[in-house]
Amino acid sequence: MGKVRFLSSESFWKGEENIKTSVADGNRVYQVSLLIKGDCIYQATCQCPAHKEYKGLCCHEAAAAFYAMEKREAEASPHVSTPPEVRRMIHTYTSREMTKLMASKMEEKIHLEPVLREKGGMLRIYLKVGISRLYLVKDMAAFSEALECDAYVEYGKQLGFYHSLEAFDDESARLAEEINRAVGEYRYLYEKLNPIRGAMMPVLRELELSPGACDSFMKALIGRTVEFETQEGSIKELKVKKENPRLFGVIRAHGRDGARISLLDEITVFYGKRRMYLIREDILYCCDKGCTAVLKEFLQAMSPRNGSRILSVEMSEKDLPSFCDYVLPRISGYVSLESMGIDLEQYHTEPLRTKFYFDSPSADEITLKAEFWYGSVKFTPFDRTRYSEVFRDQVGELIVGTLIKQYFTGRYADDSCFTVKGDEEAMFSLLDGGISEFEKHGEVYLSNAMKERRILSESRVSVGVSLQGEWLNLQVDTGGLSSSELSEILSAYRQKQTYYRLKSGDFLRLSETGFGTLAELSKGLALDDRQPLEGEIHVPRYRSLYLDKVLKDGRHIDVNRDSAFKSIVRNMNSVRESDFEVPPSLGDILREYQKHGFFWFRTLDVYGFGGILADDMGLGKTIQVIALLVDEARKNPDMKALIVCPASLIYNWESELRRFGPKLTVTVVAGSGAERAELLSVGRKPSQVYVTSYDLLRRDTALYRSMEFRFQIIDEAQYIKNHATQNARAVKRIRSVTKFALTGTPIENRLGDLWSIFDYLMPGFLYSYQKFKKEFEVPVLRDGDKAALKRLHRMIGPFLLRRYKKDVLKDLPDKLESVVYSRLGKSQRSLYAANAIKLKKELESSGDEQYQKRRIQILAELTRLRQLCCDPGLCYEDYKGGSAKLETCMELILGGAESGHKILLFSQFTSMLDILGERLSKEGIAYYKLTGQTGKEERMELVNAFNHDEVPVFLISLKAGGTGLNLTAADVVIHFDPWWNLAAQNQATDRAHRIGQKKVVSVFRLIAKDTIEEGILRLQEMKKELTDQVIENEAASFGSLSREALIKLLEEEDAGLY
């Protein structure tokens, strides 16, 4: 359709409007008439043939209608006018450009001439401006405003210019900037002090310079000659110089017993914030900071004499010694004083000589007599007599007095000496470093009794270590100390005391003896309850590396090790490839770090030790165990090994064993009770490897009583983290030569998890649980005891192998983790807030005892809050509102699926997976789902299918599918809801981020904003730091939360909801 042209418009009294237009259509132009009222077209006519044939609007009438509508909207739009402030803004920018242009074309630059004026001891400034002739600036505030606005101002018939910095010469431009800054400060203060709106600022003929402004202006004036108007009104020119003056003066006797110091020149002094400015004759000196710091106090103490500018000061004779000793030496670099009629030498104090006499009348007392000597005259600190013939060094005596107070707490009633009595800590402090401090301030004399008070630093301790069978023998020599005194010394060391007082009266400095090492050994070897370290001590062989580490790190201790002990330590510290041979069938398959894991297994096995392989999830712990079993089967075909794992992993282990150890005979102990009994029956030909689950092992304990295994391997060892469970007890009843544990999370919730695993591996290694809790769990978790943490790390280090993917798999793609927040909608937020408030009130009204009894119910309430964050439909059947997280999640899934990504979605709530499945079906997105109800065979089928087909989404229950699955086809992982245990989430993530992954894995953690989920996120991070130090893994749990911490958690996270 062509152009529409308006012809005419006619309005009628009822509101109708008749609009006539012409509409071009190709080469033809048709006349169109429309009768319009409001938004309705009542009548339309057109000259085209279609108008008569078509009941509705023809195309020309439609074009005219659109034109009329647009015309009406344009006419209805309000008229836009420019506000005054916008006009001013435009004018300002325009004026600035004009000002710059005009200033650049000026043949001569404008000159600013400052005039300094003295008034009331302060410095003021006013200005003159011009080129050849200078004009007085009558209002410095107006001058500053003109600079800011680039305004044109006339000062006389021959001077008018645009006030831009470009208009001034360089010196004047710098000065103009300082004026502008100072006036701005003045204006700000004036408005603060005069808050009445619209109050006019008075004319500013001159500006009083603040200390800070004084520094700025003087810096701008250095090198210039300026006019200076004195207080009396005279004017002279001053040359501004950046240098320090040399002052001259005289000191003469004055009055009956005093002196007067007078400067010879008339000077005027002003003070800036950092510098001092001094006028003498025709020079204004800008003093540096050093000169200012020295002379400021001296000059401020002086005052003009007899109306002149000659400064002077008077002082009495008693203050002359201090002046001569402390003031005169400091000011001499800037002031030369000539003495007239007075001998200053006689006022210099005699040098102070201090003598200290130490004595020890008894074993628990030290005394001090101090003497101050001036020539042949002696004083004591207690002497109040003033000798007129001697001027005393008050500062020197004060320093000595302060030193005495630091070390001596009392003095004798007759003021004969100072004493410290019955205070071993004070005596040790004096002997340790105090005597040397006194030597710095005088002569020290020790009586014979005092010389017997000693601190012993060198007390050598020797330890002999030998290996005999399964035991280590220790022989400790402490140089003849009795066992009771040794016990007391070790107790003092454990209490972090710096010394111990021996029965001989000597002090033993504990930080420089071998007793610290003995204290560590006594605690680490659990010898506290015996007669400690007396005679020959026997400890289990598995303490070898701990013992060696402590003795190596110890100082002031002699160690004798036998060859057998050295051999075990050397071999354990350097797992060497040459000692063992990787099975040929796996030589080209195992990666280098996996070979090292095999060597580590073998080294531990040689010495009868167990260990935890705690490699990062996805590093192939399974194949390292298979290499061990294949190697053992080659050497010992009759060997038997038992592998215990979660039920969901039984067939995964069977598959991996048949793949990497095809010659091994494998029996999966599963099926009915009768079938399992048949598989383990005595008459049946034994297999080399048996695989069963924790649950089935617990039921079949009686079937294993007659069996003994070469190796027992437990996978996902966190399943026995609670030592009181049937799982843990069943595993520990199995008889086996060597035991190993596999887990990516040795600590899930607390340090007790670690104890339970080691109790399976090497019973007694971490003592009884009660002792472990006392020595490690409570000190580390509650008190942050770093010494206990270090001791624990020393003990478990050799028996725990931990490698990270980032360190050993340089070719593994990155894992990008993000937290995605969703804000609850109104309905969801109201339900969550009501439940959160209810729980918070219950917690506040209950005591700690009730809280402990109701932990199960409280956990249920917390679970309800977490479900409300996911979707209130999990708690309320009739809920019709939306779920913010569900919508966020669907956006991620839709975007990922459309881009060709494969997605793993984990949730702890299977009912949430059902809701997600329904939404995916509505969107036409195919998915698989795996929960605890999924059978073992079906699990493997689903995993294989997902890894090889095009189905984009796998919904997985966190507990059912968080471990033991290889899902490297996925490159996106979504955690729909956070779990208290971050390690479980990380395990789930590593179903995709593991060996075989070729793509970058994106991990999204969905969090509901301002809810308990944010608190869980923070708790995960709080726990992470501690467990990183112990096992280098992360953990968090609800179980460790106190009632107060839970209330605080609800208060913090729910604050954004109310």
Read off the pLDDT of each residue in 396-410 and give the average, rounded to a whole number.
Answer: 89
Question: How much is the pLDDT for 442?
Answer: 93
- State the average pLDDT for the chain: 84
- Give buried/exposed letters for 689-717 (b at 16+ CB in 10 A, else e): bbbbbbebbbebeebbeeeebbbbbbbbb
Q: Are 391 and 347 in contact (CB under 8 A)?
A: yes
Read off the pLDDT of each residue in 754-758 and give the average, rounded to a whole number.
Answer: 92
- pLDDT, tens digit (0-9, with 9 covering 90-100), for 26-48: 888 889 898 888 777 878 888 88
Q: Model confidence at 920, in pLDDT bands (50, 70, 90)?
A: very high
Q: What percent of the chain has pLDDT over 90?
A: 36
Give 350's DSSP letter. Answer: P
Residues 216 and 213: their CA atoms lie apart, in Å, by 5
Residues 744 and 615: their CA atoms lie apart, in Å, by 6
Read off the pLDDT of each residue in 898-911 and give the average, rounded to a whole number.
Answer: 90
Q: Model confidence at 1056, in pLDDT bands (50, 70, 90)?
A: very low
Residue 546 has pLDDT above 90, yes or no: no
Question: How much is the pLDDT for 459?
Answer: 63
Residue 24 has pLDDT above 70, yes or no: yes
Lowest-pLDDT range of 389-393, 525-529, 612-616: 525-529
Residue 1033 has pLDDT above 60, yes or no: no
- How open is the CA angle 993-998-1000, to the nearest 5 degrees? 60
Residue 1028 has pLDDT above 60, yes or no: no
Q: Model confidence at 507, in pLDDT bands (50, 70, 90)?
A: confident
- pLDDT, tens digit (0-9, with 9 covering 90-100), for 72-99: 777 766 666 778 777 777 766 666 666 5
Residue 1032 has pLDDT above 50, yes or no: no
Of 646, 732, 656, 724, nearest to 689 (Cα)? 656
Question: How much is the pLDDT for 55?
Answer: 67
- If one counts every other C-beta atom within 10 angstroms of the C-beta of residue 719, the result is 21
Read off the pLDDT of each residue in 217-236 and give the average, rounded to a whole number.
Answer: 91
Read off the pLDDT of each residue in 517-521 and give the average, rounded to a whole number.
Answer: 76
Question: How much is the pLDDT for 925?
Answer: 93
Residue 388 has pLDDT above 80, yes or no: no
- pLDDT, tens digit (0-9, with 9 covering 90-100), for 952-1002: 999 999 888 767 688 889 989 999 999 877 777 888 888 888 877 888 888
Give 382's DSSP letter. Answer: T
Residue 280 has pLDDT above 80, yes or no: yes
Backbone torsions φ then ψ of 980, nearest 5 degrees: -55, -30
Of 704, 701, 748, nearest to 727 (Cα)? 701
Question: How much is the pLDDT for 989?
Answer: 85
- pLDDT, tens digit (0-9, with 9 covering 90-100), for 872-888: 999 998 898 889 889 88
Higher pLDDT, 46 or 486: 46
Question: How much is the pLDDT for 622?
Answer: 92
Residues 434 and 360: their CA atoms lie apart, in Å, by 15
Residue 1037 has pLDDT above 80, yes or no: no
Q: What percent of the chain has pLDDT over 70?
A: 90
Question: How much is the pLDDT for 199?
Answer: 65
Which stretch, 618-632, 648-662, 1002-1016, has highest mean pLDDT? 618-632
CA dihedral 902, 907, 912, 916 (to 10 degrees): -10
Question: How much is the pLDDT for 872?
Answer: 94
Residue 469 Cα distances to 27, 466, 795, angstroms: 115, 10, 20
Residues 953 and 902: their CA atoms lie apart, in Å, by 6
SS3 273: coil
Give 356's DSSP letter. Answer: E
Residue 512 has pLDDT above 70, yes or no: no
Read off the pLDDT of each residue in 591-612 and give the average, rounded to a whole number.
Answer: 91
Question: How much is the pLDDT for 1035?
Answer: 33
Residue 306 has pLDDT above 80, yes or no: no
Q: Model confidence at 652, in pLDDT bands (50, 70, 90)?
A: confident
SS3 17: strand
Read off the pLDDT of each residue in 893-917 and give the average, rounded to a whole number.
Answer: 90
- pLDDT, tens digit (0-9, with 9 covering 90-100), for 332-378: 999 999 988 888 877 777 788 999 999 999 988 999 999 999 888 88
Higher pLDDT, 1026 or 217: 217
Question: How much is the pLDDT for 384?
Answer: 67
Question: How much is the pLDDT for 284?
Answer: 95
| Paired strand residues for 807 | none
Residue 803 has pLDDT above 50, yes or no: yes
Q: Are 131 and 168 in contact (CB under 8 A)?
A: no
Q: Model confidence at 599, in pLDDT bands (50, 70, 90)?
A: very high
